[in-house]
A = this chain, B = another copy of it.
Amino acid sequence: MSGGFDAQASGVYAIAVTPFHADGRVDLESVDRITDFYVESGVTGLTILGILGEAPKLDHAEAVEIAARVIRRTRLPVVVGVSAPGFAAMRALSRSVMDLGAAGVMIGSPPSLRTDDQIVSWFGQAVEAIGPDVPWVLQDYPLTLQVVMTPGVIRRIVTDNPSCVMLKHEDWPGLEKISTLRKWEREEAMRRVSILCGNGGLFLDFETERGADGAMTGYAFPDMLTELVGLVRDGRRDEAHDLFDAHLPLLRYEQQPGVGLAVRKHVLMRRGAIACDAQRKPGASLTDAARAEVEYLLARLARRDARARLQPLAA
């Protein structure tokens, strides 16, 4: 398993949540606590200020402070989301965090891109904005970003931009895309990039079997994700699926768009990784019914995975 943020990277990059106090201020103590939590979960890297890190709700100064704090706290590579509607903001944030010691940045595309050429050209301009020496992750997430990239387009971007070292794969469905990219790599028709999978981990069992190097997602049990990736790497297929299947009911529940982040923060709070599950406004919160469903799922999971044995919620 590679220790660095490069085209060989594997394992799990946790998509970090941003902890807030109930009144909406950033909870810096919880930033430390969850950083430690991720590290202890065995992740190989951290991705901060992504979509589910509530980055658009942070101003520049807050974003930089959080990045600085996480980077100081861990020796693991830290990747920072810098997607922005304009290249000026992308450049500014990218420079700030690279100066602070970030390992690289992650870039997702704006929804206006339609044709293959528009997509390829936009990423070229993004690289020109951040500078050709900054390693970066290409985020392929059509469900949310509204941009559809064929394997051929990904190859063009990877070929045009040597600083692209990783694909955050979250196309849906996407198993054949992984197989195609890995086949091209074997045939030397495309250089290698690391492929880590997002989409809440909903297909991670098979994605890793298809050739993905691991996960980049924020599921509230990152320790399960790292164990799963290890089992697959060791060829212990049935055990990997047993573990995955035990988590799938909760994982699926957390993967719901919109409300999923509330579930994730709630479970992380229940596990003691953050002090408060609040989102900065505007954000969804869990209804009583939803909270009870999460407790039920945790209780069921606890019978199969000791990690889910939590203290009961105070009434």
Contacts and interface: CB of A to CB of B under 8 A. Distances in A.
A184 B111 CA distance: 30
Nearest to A124: B282
A16 B103 CA distance: 39
Interface residues of A, number: 61
Nearest to A263: B173
Nearest to A63: B88
Interface string A52-85: 0001111110100000000000000000000011
B57 A172 contact: no
Given A125-B281, A241-B249, A257-B172, A86 B152 contact: no
B111 A289 contact: no
A179 B289 CA distance: 9
Interface stretch (A30-38, A40-48, A112-120, A223-231): A112-120
A51 to B, nearest CB: 10
A175 B290 contact: yes
Contacts of A179: 287, 289
Interface string A281-306: 11000010110010010001000000
A268 interface: no
A148 B117 contact: no
A150 B60 contact: no
Interface string A195-216: 0000000110110011000000
Contacts of A248: 245, 248-249, 252
Interface of A: 55-60, 62, 84-89, 91-92, 111, 114-118, 121-122, 125, 128, 148-150, 152-153, 172-173, 175-176, 179, 202-203, 205-206, 209-210, 241, 244-245, 248-249, 252-253, 256-260, 281-282, 287, 289-290, 293, 296, 300
Given A59-B92, A245-B249, 13 more contacts: A56-B88, A57-B86, A87-B282, A115-B153, A116-B150, A117-B150, A172-B257, A173-B258, A176-B259, A179-B289, A203-B252, A205-B249, A252-B252
